[in-house]
Structure 1
Amino acid sequence: MSLLMLNCSMIIMLMMLLIIILNLVAKKSFSDREKSSPFECGFDPKSSSRTPFSLHFFLIALIFLIFDIEITILFPLIITLKFSNPFSYFMFSILFLLILLLGLIHEWIQGALNWSH
């Protein structure tokens, strides 16, 4: 039994050593200027860093995140349908969707969904 464990540990040590050696040998050592430069959301890193960021793009991204989180909240709500009281389930669902609808109407009235300005 002890000999078997010794053989297994030797095989594991040899495999680890082989992986380390192959990692060092196979590593590409050339440096590319484009790959080593920072990349941030499509902005050119060589241009001025003081260019204004589009607030409208930020608002659209924020609305997308809110509705993405809304989907993650609705999935457990659907799963718990068979375990909950139908009246309280219905009231919670209506209240949740009403809050989301009011938020969407507010964004629409404020003009955050228009790309024209």
Structure 2
Amino acid sequence: MFDPLEYLPILIFLFIALGISVLFVFLPMGVSRLTGVHQPNTEKNSEYECGFPAFEDPRSPFDVRFYLVAISFILFDLEAAFLFPWAVSLEYTGWAGWTAMMVFLGILAIGLAYEWKMGALNWE
């Protein structure tokens, strides 16, 4: 039979996690406003990583190289995420697993060489 008391520890954990996350988000903002550290200026509001101003017309043209670098980062980040479980399970997968990973890494190396040749990694 369904007993709601069995879910009480999970609910307590969720409420504590929600409270801590809200505390970590809103407490620094409140402290900075109270202590006078919150002083926005043009330098703080300028573009940081994206390469184009954030507070302009959203339909203005922008440089697509930022997105090329971001996609490359995600690709190689996923490669690193695949390498760890592959290295742990290599004993069980044997030569088939090793060959499959070498093909995967070869495809990524060809893609990186293509990006490099086309100048997608050059930033002016």
Q: TM-score, normalised by structure 1?
A: 0.56
Aligned residues: 85
In the alignment, what sits opposite 1:23?
A: none
Cα distance in 2 for residues equivalent to 1:96 and 1:58: 23
Identity of aligned residues (%): 33
How far residue 109 of structure 1 moved from its aligned partner, in angstroms, is: 1.8
1:88 aligns with 2:111: no
How far residue 44 of structure 1 moved from its aligned partner, in angstroms, is: 5.6
Which blocks of at least 5 consecutive residues in structure 2 are unaligned?
1-29
Cα-Cα RMSD:
3.1
Q: Of the two structures, which has the highest relative contact order with CA contacts closer than 8 Å and spacing of 6 or more?
A: 1
- Matched to 2:82, the amino acid is I
Q: Which has the larger radius of gyration?
A: 1
How far residue 90 of structure 1 moved from its aligned partner, in angstroms, is: 2.2
**CA displacement 1:12-66 (0-9 Å, x = unmatched):** xxxxxxxxxxxxxxx89x8x896xxxx8x74766x42244332111111110011
8 Å CA contact 2:90–2:98 kept in 1: the answer is no
Q: TM-score, normalised by structure 2?
A: 0.53
1:78 aligns with 2:87: yes
Cα distance in 1 for residues equivalent to 2:109 and 2:53: 38
In the alignment, what sits opposite 1:62?
A: 71
